[in-house]
Structure 1
Amino acid sequence: IDTDIPVVIRLTGTNEKEGRDLLRNTRFKVAETMGEATLMAVEASHKQ
């Protein structure tokens, strides 16, 4: 997916590890918790 805006993804549940592995080398930020995702999103918004 080609996008100019930062994307933060929180993954949890079945096949979570596989999903993280697939997203590891992408521009997407992957968080483990909702709190971590929130911090990543706020940080990314300040860089825009």
Structure 2
Amino acid sequence: MKCPICSKPAAQQYRPFCSRRCADIDLAHWLRGDYRIPGEPALPPENET
């Protein structure tokens, strides 16, 4: 299995990543919302008070 960030071989300790650095880079992508799926904005519930 290759690291999804840098394509080096994955390390068992950080699987599916090769290092802590690549795992942290992936976490930063998630926290910034880089992996979101574009779509229509959600409407608020009608009974919201």
**Which one has a bigger Cα radius of gyration?**
2
Query: Which structure carries more relative contact order (alpha carbon 8 Å, separation 6+)?
Result: 1
TM range (shorter): 0.3 to 0.5
Give the TM-score taking structure 2 as reference length: 0.36
Bigger proportion of residues as strand: 1
